[in-house]
Amino acid sequence: MSDPRRRGARPQPQQAAAPETPSYFDRKQDTLEGFESITQQTMAIPFVRILQKLSPQLDKGKPEYIEGAEEGDFFNTVTKEVMKGFKFVCLDFRQMYLEWLPDRGGFAGYHDSQNAARLAEESGTVQNFGKWKTTAGNLLQETYVYMGFVAGKESEGVVILSFSSSMIKAAKEWNRLMTTHVMPNGEVAAPYYLVWQFGTEYRKNEKGSWYVENIKFDGYVTEPQLLQARTERKTLPARITSIDYKQLGSSGERGDGESLPEESKY
């Protein structure tokens, strides 16, 4: 069901004006000595997530509260920026299984598909796909993980989008579109040639309401964006292990009635 409050119908939250660069800064004289150990592996990679009605960023009584943020907005977990929508260039895709402790006990680890299947086999739950568990009773949640950058914010580096539970279907459809897109010259495009517009859609059933991603093809990358995509892709394998999946925790109830721990929902 569509909602009258769809993206673009509401005013953007006001952003603080960027400060001017002080005239006394001198980057020719001032070096980065002492910061050599700060690399891609020692920096947090942000997730971009949808704010749902129980997200702490919408609760004035919680320290995470962000003035002007609304249900259905996108939220960067590191910069804390709120967006109504954004354009995304995908650089990498991984199918992961996130492990969550029972009774909302929190994040316990992550596994590739092969290891998750082995753990489910050991626990006797492998035949019950979607409800795989470890022998300790921890939930193994299938999650599609996409790494890329936000068009127009390339200098901020790589961000992560994640899809799980009921959004896996939409992610599979997006995967097909990404890998089968034929360009005007008749060649199949590399996925990182493509720009995708992300918005959100309102969903509702008898158990509640929530927002989901709406993804549409928006065109092709510019030459500078392609050069950045090629550079970023070379560093991604070493950065996969530094992803902090705990950022997916405490995101609030989706509202679709799925029996997943709070930490595993969007």
pLDDT of residue 26: 79
pLDDT of residue 17: 59
pLDDT of residue 89: 98
The rounded average pLDDT for each run of 10 residues, N- to C-terminus, in the chain (266 residues) is 44 57 80 69 82 93 94 94 96 92 84 93 90 93 94 93 89 96 96 97 89 95 96 81 71 38 34
Biggest CA pair distance of the chain? 66
Q: How far apart are CA 175 and CA 169, in angstroms?
A: 10
> 133 by DSSP, 3-state: which?
strand
pLDDT of residue 254: 37
For the chain, what is the radius of gyration of the CA atoms?
Answer: 20
Rounded to 5 degrees, φ, ψ at 180 are -125, 10
Within 10 angstroms of residue 229's Cβ, the number of other Cβ atoms is 20
Within 10 angstroms of residue 123's Cβ, the number of other Cβ atoms is 17
pLDDT of residue 41: 59
Helix residue spans in the chain (DSSP H): 113-123, 168-180, 223-239
- Could you tell me if 28 and 228 are in contact, meaning their C-beta atoms sit under 8 angstroms apart? no
Strands (E), the chain: 48-50, 74-76, 82-83, 86-101, 106-112, 139-150, 159-164, 194-205, 208-220
Domain borders along the chain are 43-256
- Could you tell me if 71 and 53 are in contact, meaning their C-beta atoms sit under 8 angstroms apart? yes
pLDDT of residue 262: 35
